[in-house]
Each structure stands twice: as C-alpha cells, then as structure tokens.
Structure 1
Amino acid sequence: MSTAVLSPPTTVNSVRRRLVLGLAVAAAILVVLMAASLALGAEHVPFGQVWRALTVGGTDADVIVRDVRLPRTLLGVLVGSALAVAGALMQALSRNPLAEPGLLGVNAGASLGVVIAMAYFGIGALSGYIWFALIGASIATVAVYALGSAGAAGASPARLALAGAAITAALTGAISAIVLLSSTVFNGFRAWSVGTLSGRTAPVVIQVAPFIVIGVVLGLFLVSSLNALALGEDAAKGLGANVARTRLLGVVATTLLCGAATAAAGPISFVGLVVPHMVRTFTGPDHRWLLPYCLLAGPILMVAADLAGRLIARPGELPTALVTAVVGAPVFVYLIRRRRMAGL
C-alpha cells in the first residue's frame, strides 16, 4: 500500500535528479571545450600557459589566448546559446518541428542590414555594421509579425510561417540586387556571410552580449506559457495563458537572440534547428528543462564546431557554419528516422 503511494513522487524525484545531473555534465563538457578552444589551434598553447595568460599575464601566449581565442570562445558560447534557445522558442511558438531562426526573416533582415551598411555607408568593420544587422533583423521580424497578424483571424503559426517565407524571399532578392552592383560589397558580404567566429574581438562580444542575455531571460520567463501553448491555443487560454502576449514576447526574444547572433557571427545553420530536437530526446517537451539544456547544448556544439574547424584544416581553418552544417545534417536525418520530432 505504502509502495503504491510513494512510487509516483519517487519517480518524479528520480527524473529530476537525472535532469539536474545532466545539466551538471553538460556544463562540465562546455568548460572542457572552452579550455581546449583556448589552448588548441594553429599554434598549441599548453594549459599552464593558458591559465597564466588569463590570470597573471606577461607571457608569450597573451596575445593568442587573451586577444584572439578568448573573445571567439566567449562569442561561440553566446551565439550557440542564442541560436539554440531561439530555435526552441520558434518551434514552440509556431508548433512547427522544422522552425528555425530563419523562419521569421531574421537572418535575411540582418543580412540586408549588413549589405546596406557596406554599400551605402561605407562601413566595412564588424563593430560598425553589427548595429545595422540588429536593426535589419528587428524590422524584418516586425514586418513578418504585422503581415502574419493582419486580418480578423489574427496571428497563427501557419500565417506567421507564410509571412516569414514571403519576407525572406523579398529581402533575399534585395540583397542579391545590391551585392551584384558592387564587387567591393560582394567581397565584404561574402566574408561575413560564410558564418564564422574567426576575427571576432572583445568589442564585438561586449556589443552583442546584452541583447543575447535579455533575449535568454525573456525566453526563460515564458516557459510556463510555452508549456501551455503546446497543448493548443484553446487549452492554453483555458489554463490562463495569454497567447497573444506569449507569442509577441517570444517573437521579441527570438529577434534579440537571432539578430545579435547573426550580426556577430554571420548566418549559422542547423544549430537552432537540431539542438532543440537533440535536447528534447533527453528532457522531453517540458520547456522548464528544454531551454536550460539548450543554453548549454548550443554552446557545446558551437565551440566544438569552431575548434574542429581550426584543427581539421590547420594551419588554416574551416568556417564554423560549414562544420555545423556537416555535423547537423546527418544528426537531423537520424532524429527524423527515429521519429523523435513529435511532441513539441
């Protein structure tokens, strides 16, 4: 009799312990990868020298560790977290398992902002056009939301997806038209659009960090509403969730996350699409656990991809976006074959 009474709480507690332990393991893996990112590359730096360069300074490795590898590693953590959380938010808001950060035109808006900065303002430095990318991403998202919400029916996942596809197509055409008119703009845009953490400095990290932190906090604030929304709009309203507010705040969070990440590193594919599905196979659809795991799993993938790109092609390096695509595509196919994409 007592066993039957104690069994459900015991099961819940064991699941919670497993999930907490998983977070601790993921955090440890991320720390190890960050340390490896600081030490490994075209020139190997012993871990002892890495530690001294970070804490004391005055070593030959100061420039490599503190000025080159530390900013790109921190940016990899920020961009990975942003894209993974944004992907999870978009999949929840649209109830579409194929939703990813490019769905609402964010990537296309950021790209158009970069092109305009290069072509009409003569801005070639990342620290200059990063603001144009953020503005472009914001305007594109507002346009998608306004178009998807027009009419008496209001916003819906299908309408937002269609509006996003239409805006993305229009912005992509505008980008192509501007880029083809100038070889200088074409070369500059091509360097940004490959998607990489290379060459990113501390000022870039400082510029994008506030946007990503605000977006993450806003996303975590919505976890209960997202769980209710997963049951359907009618059920969510019955549970007291404000569907319109949840969708609007979710779009704002996604814009901040995707806009900042894309502006800093260029378009990075598959992170926002694959990571939430990978995490969901372990945590289930509960966003109270899904989003914290995405906060760690996204950076793990980004930092590992950046490190792999440096080691595979040393003394050169492969763009981070290329590595994430090569890794993400087969993983996504594997997840589809296992039919793990249900239950958003």
Structure 2
Amino acid sequence: MKGYHDMLLKSTSLKWMGFIIAILVMVLFMCASVIYGYTDTSWQTAVDAFTNNNGSNEHIIIQTVRLPRALIASAVGASLAIAGVLMQTLTKNPLASPGIFGINAGGGFAVVVAMTVFSVNSLQVFSVLAFIGAAVAAISVYAIGSFGREGLTPMKLTLAGAAMSAMFSSFTQGLLVLDEVMLDQVLFWLAGSVQGRKLETLVSVLPYIGIGWIGAVLIAGKMNILSMGEDVAKGLGLNTGLIKIAIGVIVILLAGGSVAVAGPIGFVGIVVPHITRSIVGIDHRWVIPFSGVLGAILLIAADIAARYMFMPSEVPVGVMTAIIGTPFFIYIARRGFNGR
C-alpha cells in the first residue's frame, strides 16, 4: 500500500469537491436501495410512494421497508467507519475495528442471553440489550487496558479487547449449543443485517450515535496531535488521558449503537479508514467526515448486493462486508502495516 502522503486529493478545494461528490454518490445509493430488490419497482414508483401514495403493495414496501433499510444502512455504515478511524488512531493498529474492543461480541452475547435464557423475541428489546452489552464490553476492555503502572497503552488495549471478544464469543456459542431451537434466528442476527429493521429502532439510538458523530468531528484536531505519539502529544500540551477517554466514549456510542440496530457487522471499520486516508491523507479533520460518508456508501452497496446474491432469499449484509473486507484485511496484514 502506498503511503498516505501519496493521497489522491491534495488541495483543500479538491477535498471539498470530493466530499460533495461522495455525498451525492451516497444519496444516489440510498435511492437505489429504495428502488431495487425482490419486489419490482421503478424510480417513478418510488416518487409516487411519497407524493401520491395509493396504498399499493409496492408503495407500502418502499415506505415501510426499503426507506428505513436505506437510512439504517447509511447510519450504521457511517458510525462503524468513524469508530474504526478512532480505534486505529488510539491503538496504533491499522487492523483495529469495533470488534477489537469486544463490542460486537458483547452486544451479541446480550441478545443471545435474552433469547435463550429469558425467551425474549422483541426486536426493540434486542436493540436495547445489544447496546447495553456492547457498552459494558467496551468499558470493561477500557478498564482492563488501563490497569498497571503504564496506564492505558495500545498493546494492553488490543490484548484486552481480543481476550474479551474471545470470552463473549465462547459464552455465546455455549448458550446456542444448549438451545438449538433459537439457533437460526440468533445466527441471522449475529451475522449482521439491516433486513426487517424498523425505523423506530434507528430513532431510539440516533441521539447516541448523533452525539458520537459530533464528538468525533470536534476532537479531530486533537487526534492529529495524538497520532504523532504519546510523548510528542504531551509535549504539545495535550491531555492524552482525557482524549483517550473521550475516544473510548465516542467509540462506545457509535459502535454500540450500530450493534443495537443491525447486529455485529464487521470489516467496515477496517476497510473504510484506509481507503479514506489514501484519498485525503491523515488529517482527521478530513478523514472522519469522509470515512462517515464512504462507510455509508459501502454498507448500502453491500446491502443491495446481498438482495441479489441468492434471490429470493437474502444474505445478511454482514456476510457481504466479510466477502469485501477479508481480501483487504489479508492485503494489509501481508504488507506489514506499511500504510501507516
């Protein structure tokens, strides 16, 4: 991978132009998500669904199924990508993603416990429990990684996250073995999906991920300083402990909210930050907003592709992101992280 100094957009005017184009592409993909799928609809049908709704099956599907799906995919994709940027900067690990905090595993475990132990089958309850489980997992990892004389270090944080993720995954598998009746339903959720999610589910966590988006933008400048190294950042007067706590909280809000809405979706937080840096460089004031838009585009595109792979059946979007992200993951690993 080329160094990020070989970025595609070097001037500020080009970056603004690229950002506007990316937003337009995101809107185009959202429109495509509303139109294309198993039920045959057209652009005119989509327009009529909002301007002259006649109660037809096509209009109902567009309004109640596909529009929420497009909005959820865009919000989740943006949140996971931004969380990935923050985690890669915090841990100094180019392969870091929300999964490294054990967030996905914690959220998944909470849902499996609700299904198998308490026989809960409400999607709204799943969302709340997933958010709580993800937050508890992330806070636990952060606390464990802070123990010791050195305090919070990238290596300790990474190891704590890997250990916590393995633990929650093992517990989850154990519960599924004990209750095979719930296996299919749970596995579909654990694979990560925006299918069948209601807009109310997104609305319930939107305040949290909204705060996360704003917080990420506000600390972008300080993250530039932090990325120079701990000693340099402290020498420049940055309160690194406070910044790390802020990053941890924002990651919990973004990744926890995403897990609550769509289940654990992998690789978006790994792939998008690297693509973004190759376009705009390493300035977080550009990387964060660009990653949000590109993350939304990636997840919407993956969701559209998931509808057609085995039509009329659908593949969970988490499977599609794995197909896209796995080769990229291997590429970065084989290159020895030279991109950073």
Identify which range, 195-204 or 272-281, moves more after superposition.
Answer: 195-204
* 2:123 aligned partner, one-letter code: L
- Check 1:336–1:283 CA distance in 2 against 1; reply closer, same or farther (3 A cut): farther
Superposed CA deviations along residues 23-76 of structure 1, whole A, max 9, x for unmatched, are 011111111111111111012211112012123422522211001101111000
How far apart are the structure 1 equivalents of 2:208 and 2:109?
A: 19
Offset of residue 315 of structure 1: 2.5
Identify which range, 162-171 or 57-66, moves more after superposition.
Answer: 57-66
Checking the alignment, whether the CA contact within 8 Å between 2:188 and 2:316 is kept in structure 1 is: no
How far apart are the structure 2 equivalents of 1:338 and 1:145?
A: 29
Offset of residue 234 of structure 1: 1.0
Checking the alignment, whether the CA contact within 8 Å between 1:90 and 1:254 is kept in structure 2 is: yes
- Check 1:300–1:123 CA distance in 2 against 1; reply closer, same or farther (3 A cut): same
**1:10 maps to which residue?**
none
Checking the alignment, whether the CA contact within 8 Å between 1:281 and 1:340 is kept in structure 2 is: no
* 2:158 aligned partner, one-letter code: A
Offset of residue 187 of structure 1: 3.0
Tell me the TM-score normalized by structure 2. 0.92
**2:82 maps to which residue?**
85
How far apart are the structure 1 equivalents of 2:309 and 2:20?
A: 29
**1:63 maps to which residue?**
60
Offset of residue 128 of structure 1: 1.2
**2:291 maps to which residue?**
294
How many residues in Structure 1 have an aligned counterpart in Structure 2? 331
Identify the match of residue 15 of structure 1 among 1, 11, 15: 11
Identify the match of residue 96 of structure 1 among 90, 93, 98: 93
**How does 1:18-37 map onto structure 2 within 5 Å?**
18-37=14-33
How far apart are the structure 2 equivalents of 1:151 and 1:108?
A: 25
**How does 1:33-44 map onto structure 2 within 5 Å?**
33-44=29-40
The DSSP-based 3-state class of the residue aligned with 1:102 is helix
**1:117 maps to which residue?**
114
Checking the alignment, whether the CA contact within 8 Å between 1:38 and 1:69 is kept in structure 2 is: yes
Q: Is it true that 1:174 corresponds to 2:171 in the alignment?
A: yes
Offset of residue 325 of structure 1: 1.4
5+ long unaligned stretches in structure 2: 1-8
**1:282 maps to which residue?**
279
Offset of residue 144 of structure 1: 0.8
Shift >3 Å, 4+ stretches: 331-341
* 1:296 aligned partner, one-letter code: V
**2:4 maps to which residue?**
none
Larger Rg: 1
Identify the match of residue 140 of structure 2 among 109, 119, 143: 143
Greater RCO (Cα-Cα under 8 Å, separation 6 or more)? 2
**2:47 maps to which residue?**
51
Q: Is it true that 1:133 corresponds to 2:134 in the alignment?
A: no
- Check 1:98–1:32 CA distance in 2 against 1; reply closer, same or farther (3 A cut): same
Checking the alignment, whether the CA contact within 8 Å between 2:95 and 2:329 is kept in structure 1 is: no
How far apart are the structure 2 equivalents of 1:125 and 1:59?
A: 27
